[in-house]
Structure 1
Amino acid sequence: MSAVTDTHAVGHTGNPGQEAARRRTFAVISHPDAGKSTLTEALALHARVISEAGAVHGKAGRRGVVSDWLDMERTRGISITSAALQFSYDDCVINLLDTPGHADFSEDTYRVLSAVDSAVMLLDAAKGLEPQTLKLFDVCRHRGIPVITFINKWDRPGREALELCDEISERIGLRPMPLTWPVGESGHFHGVLDRESGDFVGYERTDAGAHLAAERRLDAEQAAAEVGAEWQQATEESELLSASGGDLDEAAFHAATATPVLFGSAVRNFGVGQLLDLLVRLAPQPGPRPDAGGTPRELEAPFSAFVFKVQTGMDPAHRDRVAFARVCSGEFERGMVATHAATGKPFATKYAQQVFGQQRDTVETAYPGDVVGLVNASALGVGDTLYNGKPAVEFPGIPSFAPEHFAVARTTDPGRSKQFRRGIEQLSQEGVVQVLHSETRGEGAPVLAAVGPMQFDVATQRLESEFRSPIELERLPYHVVRLLGDPRQRSMLRTRTSEVFDRPDGSVLAVFTDNLALRTTLRLHPELDLHHVVAATEH
């Protein structure tokens, strides 16, 4: 595997607007097992920043993908934390953010989607739109993020291409605009019809997709002679697509009302090159981002950025803490002293790094759209803003999800109490879990709150491996959450079926075993000031 590439080796102007035009910052979203991490690595392979792709998860004796680096990711074969990959391709700087596919880590994915300009929605050819994909697409829709669709695993048996396009149109309301069309049904993949040129693009199989798949192009006449009836069927279906409004409309894509569609196989590296070329050609470049007051921050304004993720443990030898910041305006220069908007205090950026999975290299400059890893940034939290110059600027905070699972955490080794407290604080700052406190339980028994129960597994594993502080969890029976508007009403909620917890952001959560318990409490105390848990920022 190569080292991190120099994304400025192709030359840079130093002008933030011109540099932003070269950036493509996007996330890959999908349901678990759709092949997202495999696609991420295949894109890096096509950009020639790695020489050999990692194995598909679960293959004994083979390397894992570069974007999955936590021990649990490698052993379970799933992505449980987002990862940033930055590399150069075709005079552009690619900032690719791989996201967790599992629903239990939706909060991490939501944070990543706040930092991108477009998304690649990955679908399994046999399964189509799955529940987690639908949830993540709703976030994209809410944020107006343009989406490119890649229908994956076409080398395996699956559904018909027209049926999948109909599902996209009917279930999420995006007009599909296929740029390639499969020649041969799923499981019998000969290649694709390039609908813009009319050519046939065929692929040569490689050793389990570890290396680039050779492509060959044939014109329509050559394809008809070689492929025969399946080519004829593909051309007829392509004509049908054109007649029904399925040709490329760039304005509709940028307006997030239509989606370009490509077919391929990430594990075989089929169609991945076309996806990378499409991102460079069509994906939106960074533009002015609205601040917390709704005023767009121009690209040429002084440096500004916001933190969308905090991660520790990327380098086990040093156990450092990295804050991932999306540059929004101006030029970032390593060593510059920025202002931390939340506190008004100066923040030195001496240790700034460019990230490629777990690999890192010092970065000297960065521009709008780039993701910078700020090392040992203990003062920074998720949603924080950094800026330079005047006037001050602050970007909207990143909302917290309403938790659905709760557990009391206790250390099993009293001699490691200090490490336990430090680890719990760190997990809270990173957003691995929400850490709540109870007046009745005390500081030694914090309550961990999660969107999904697998977050508890991550917290337990990391406390033991990084802080040598094994814990035991006592699951709590609560599943319904409300905000308590008047903290003076706490005593009304200390019952057998309800409890009160304090969040680090200062808000107070009232939790109930179920909806019946909530209704019963409200009948007894109609004066209770309870609200649905809205998007509350932690910082």
Structure 2
Amino acid sequence: MSLEQEISKRKTFGIIAHPDAGKTTLTEKLLLFGGAIQEAGAVKSNKIKKGATSDFMEIERQRGISVATSVLAFEYKDHKINILDTPGHKDFAEDTYRTLTAVDSVIVVVDVAKGVEEQTEKLVKVCQMRNIPMLVFINKLDREGKDAFDLLDEVEQKLGLNVVPLSLPIGMGSDFQGIYNIWENNIQLFLEEKKQKVGDTVKFEDINDPKIDGMIGAKAAAQLREELELIESVYPAFDREAYINGNQQPVFFGSALNNFGVRELLDAFIEIAPMPQPKESDQRIVKPEEKNFTGFVFKIHANMDPKHRDRLAFVKIVSGTFKRNENYLLVREGKKLKFSSPNAFFADKKEVVEESYPGDIVGLHDTGNFRIGDTLTSGEKLSFKGIPSFSPEHFRFINNDDPLKAKQLAKGIDQLMDEGVAQLFVMEMNGRKIIGTVGALQFEVIQYRLEHEYGAKCTYEPISIHKACWVEADEKSAEFQEFARLKQRFLAKDKYDQLVFLADSSFTIHMTQEKFPNVKLHFISEFRHQD
């Protein structure tokens, strides 16, 4: 098969939502319809008996939340589907932001009862900034919730989207009867007693067909016809080009837990969603169909298998063909690397692949060479843009709680920081270590993982820091020397030896910028690529 054919088969997308909107359940059901799993793990908030397929870290099984992005691949109707299931919890937003650099489109999950929630708004904004095509799935229709048209209005107003419904619910909650699929002109009935099996789908050429009345009742049928008429007059027709350019968002309704509306979503998705897209680098725009391989690391995961202490770098392939045992250039280091066992993923199951193509996610075993944002190429010196580390919002001193395990603690902290779970700052004055995170829950995750994966124990101590500011200045200048002398107690180095000013308030930042105009303070670590 030619490279162009391989590219056209691939769809790589992320699923984003507020916690509890049913994102992980939807991921599972897509896998179920794709034939990738035989039985779905019932995802219960804290009683995870079987564990959702995509939640493979022990702490996720205990807490019932996704804290790391997992990658799942399966074949469906001659397409290769790559799903990136992202954490919904706001404390893990940075992992999600980085993952969005590796997807070609996104499915936004909205809870029918709660409507659009805060985290969804933030994530959709990131997608809009990157012009990522979005498709909306309104979930949990078997529960009582908001009216379909009210929800469509809310999605438009709160998220600033231009929606086009491609399916419509028939009733809701206790009156829920099924879904009218506008995209395929058919009705799928909801059979209560077959909750884990999907009811039959009946196709109609004409919405006025009297058989519909017999199936769902005259009253529901009359309402359905009225609503479809309303959709035709209020919403524009679906325009694939507008969707691909991020200017129109199709909406589907369903209930992931009951397998409902999921197949319709998947069938429409493989028809309309974009194949792998070109990506901007610091040199030029790289197109998927180019012969030479390029890709970038958007995630690093230590201890996928705690028994083997392995680190995996997740690489999104942008162009060309990635082959096992070939030499590739790690651009930042200027060195060639060869990979004998690149992995394709199915949650925590991995298999070695000989070749991978644009859109695919490959896991490379890493001995410490990679950082998040690294670019790999066949030899060309270019770097992909836009995988930042943001200034953390929470800071604590980290202390060793077991003097005999100092080595394990140092190694654990080092590897977890490489994953981007949090950021490490070492004080210039006394060498004390400070952990900075986007959300407070990450401190628990770090503590748990240090103990269970590295056999090391840590405690935390509070410290008053408002923001970490990366410092850019001429270190030989008198102005910088004065800045360093006055701010000595607040200076630290990050993991990559960049100088960081740990400011205790926004007022301090403001005063510092006024007093030392040539000492630039940045809130994103990759300021050299960003500004």
* Structure 1 position 36 matched with structure 2 position 36: no
CA-to-partner distance for each residue in 1:412-436, whole Å, 9 max, x for gaps? Answer: 1111111111111111111111111
The answer (yes or no) to whether the contact 2:7–2:288 under 8 Å persists in 1 is no
The answer (yes or no) to whether the contact 1:302–1:388 under 8 Å persists in 2 is yes
Equivalent position amino acid for 1:32 in 2: P
1:356 to 329, 346, 354: 346
Distance 2:322 2:193 in 1: 41
Alignment-derived partner of residue 423 in structure 1: 412
CA-to-partner distance for each residue in 1:92-148, whole Å, 9 max, x for gaps? Answer: 000100001011111100111000100000000111111111111111001110000
Distance 1:215 1:189 in 2: 15
Distance 1:298 1:272 in 2: 29
Query: How far has the Cα of 1:512 moved from its partner?
Result: 3.0
Alignment-derived partner of residue 201 in structure 2: 216
Distance 1:531 1:392 in 2: 28
Equivalent position amino acid for 1:511 in 2: L
**Closer, same or farther in 2 for the Cα pair 1:185/1:257, shift >3 Å?**
same
1:407-486 aligned within 5 A: 407-442=396-431, 445-486=432-473
Equivalent position amino acid for 1:88 in 2: E
DSSP-derived class of the 1:149 partner? strand
Alignment-derived partner of residue 118 in structure 2: 131
TM normalised by structure 1 equals: 0.91
Equivalent position amino acid for 1:502 in 2: K
The answer (yes or no) to whether the contact 1:156–1:188 under 8 Å persists in 2 is no
Distance 2:61 2:262 in 1: 24
* Structure 1 position 384 matched with structure 2 position 371: no
Alignment-derived partner of residue 485 in structure 2: 491
2:150 to 163, 181, 189: 163
Query: How far has the Cα of 1:207 moved from its partner?
Result: 6.5
The answer (yes or no) to whether the contact 1:178–1:246 under 8 Å persists in 2 is no
The answer (yes or no) to whether the contact 2:47–2:64 under 8 Å persists in 1 is no
* Structure 1 position 120 matched with structure 2 position 120: no
Distance 2:438 2:393 in 1: 5
Alignment-derived partner of residue 140 in structure 2: 153
Alignment-derived partner of residue 361 in structure 2: 371
Query: How far has the Cα of 1:537 moved from its partner?
Result: 6.5
1:85-234 aligned within 5 A: 85-205=72-192, 209=196, 212-217=197-202, 219=204, 220=207, 221-227=210-216, 228-234=218-224
Equivalent position amino acid for 1:492 in 2: L
Query: How far has the Cα of 1:233 moved from its partner?
Result: 1.4
2:8 to 21, 28, 39: 21
The answer (yes or no) to whether the contact 1:331–1:368 under 8 Å persists in 2 is yes
Alignment-derived partner of residue 45 in structure 2: 58
CA-to-partner distance for each residue in 1:201-233, whole Å, 9 max, x for gaps? Answer: 213346763xx4233315342222231212321
* Structure 1 position 328 matched with structure 2 position 322: no
The answer (yes or no) to whether the contact 1:178–1:262 under 8 Å persists in 2 is yes
How many residue pairs get aligned? The number is 517
Query: How far has the Cα of 1:356 moved from its partner?
Result: 0.5
Alignment-derived partner of residue 3 in structure 1: none
Unmatched segments (≥5 aa) in structure 1:
1-12
2:274 to 263, 284, 291: 284
CA-to-partner distance for each residue in 1:143-178, whole Å, 9 max, x for gaps? Answer: 110000000011111111101111121122211111
DSSP-derived class of the 1:243 partner? helix
* Structure 1 position 295 matched with structure 2 position 278: no
Distance 2:319 2:467 in 1: 41
The answer (yes or no) to whether the contact 2:166–2:250 under 8 Å persists in 1 is yes
**Closer, same or farther in 2 for the Cα pair 1:188/1:491, shift >3 Å?**
farther
Query: How far has the Cα of 1:392 moved from its partner?
Result: 3.3
**Closer, same or farther in 2 for the Cα pair 1:28/1:455, shift >3 Å?**
same
Alignment-derived partner of residue 4 in structure 1: none
DSSP-derived class of the 1:437 partner? strand
* Structure 1 position 512 matched with structure 2 position 503: yes
DSSP-derived class of the 2:224 partner? helix
Range that drifts further, 392-401 or 424-433: 392-401
DSSP-derived class of the 1:399 partner? coil
CA-to-partner distance for each residue in 1:363-391, whole Å, 9 max, x for gaps? Answer: 111100001111235211211111114x4
DSSP-derived class of the 1:400 partner? coil
**Closer, same or farther in 2 for the Cα pair 1:293/1:39, shift >3 Å?**
same
DSSP-derived class of the 2:175 partner? coil
Distance 2:248 2:199 in 1: 31
Query: How far has the Cα of 1:528 moved from its partner?
Result: 7.4
* Structure 1 position 308 matched with structure 2 position 293: no
The answer (yes or no) to whether the contact 1:42–1:272 under 8 Å persists in 2 is yes
Distance 1:537 1:187 in 2: 53
CA-to-partner distance for each residue in 1:325-369, whole Å, 9 max, x for gaps? Answer: 011111112111211111121111101111100011111111000
**Closer, same or farther in 2 for the Cα pair 1:236/1:538, shift >3 Å?**
same
Distance 1:191 1:268 in 2: 11
Alignment-derived partner of residue 6 in structure 1: none
1:267 to 237, 249, 257: 257
DSSP-derived class of the 1:280 partner? helix
* Structure 1 position 399 matched with structure 2 position 384: no
The answer (yes or no) to whether the contact 1:287–1:299 under 8 Å persists in 2 is no
Distance 2:357 2:184 in 1: 35
Q: CA RMSD in A?
A: 2.1
**Closer, same or farther in 2 for the Cα pair 1:269/1:456, shift >3 Å?**
same
**Closer, same or farther in 2 for the Cα pair 1:235/1:198, shift >3 Å?**
farther
Query: How far has the Cα of 1:493 moved from its partner?
Result: 2.6
The answer (yes or no) to whether the contact 1:119–1:145 under 8 Å persists in 2 is yes
Query: How far has the Cα of 1:526 moved from its partner?
Result: 5.9
Equivalent position amino acid for 2:429 in 1: T
Distance 2:91 2:356 in 1: 32
The answer (yes or no) to whether the contact 1:405–1:453 under 8 Å persists in 2 is yes
Query: How far has the Cα of 1:501 moved from its partner?
Result: 2.3
Distance 1:72 1:20 in 2: 36
Range that drifts further, 514-523 or 364-373: 514-523
The answer (yes or no) to whether the contact 1:25–1:117 under 8 Å persists in 2 is yes
Distance 1:187 1:132 in 2: 28
DSSP-derived class of the 1:67 partner? coil
Distance 1:421 1:293 in 2: 37
Equivalent position amino acid for 2:392 in 1: P
Alignment-derived partner of residue 476 in structure 2: none
DSSP-derived class of the 1:110 partner? helix
Equivalent position amino acid for 1:159 in 2: K
**Closer, same or farther in 2 for the Cα pair 1:479/1:122, shift >3 Å?**
same
Query: How far has the Cα of 1:532 moved from its partner?
Result: 4.3
Distance 1:361 1:394 in 2: 28
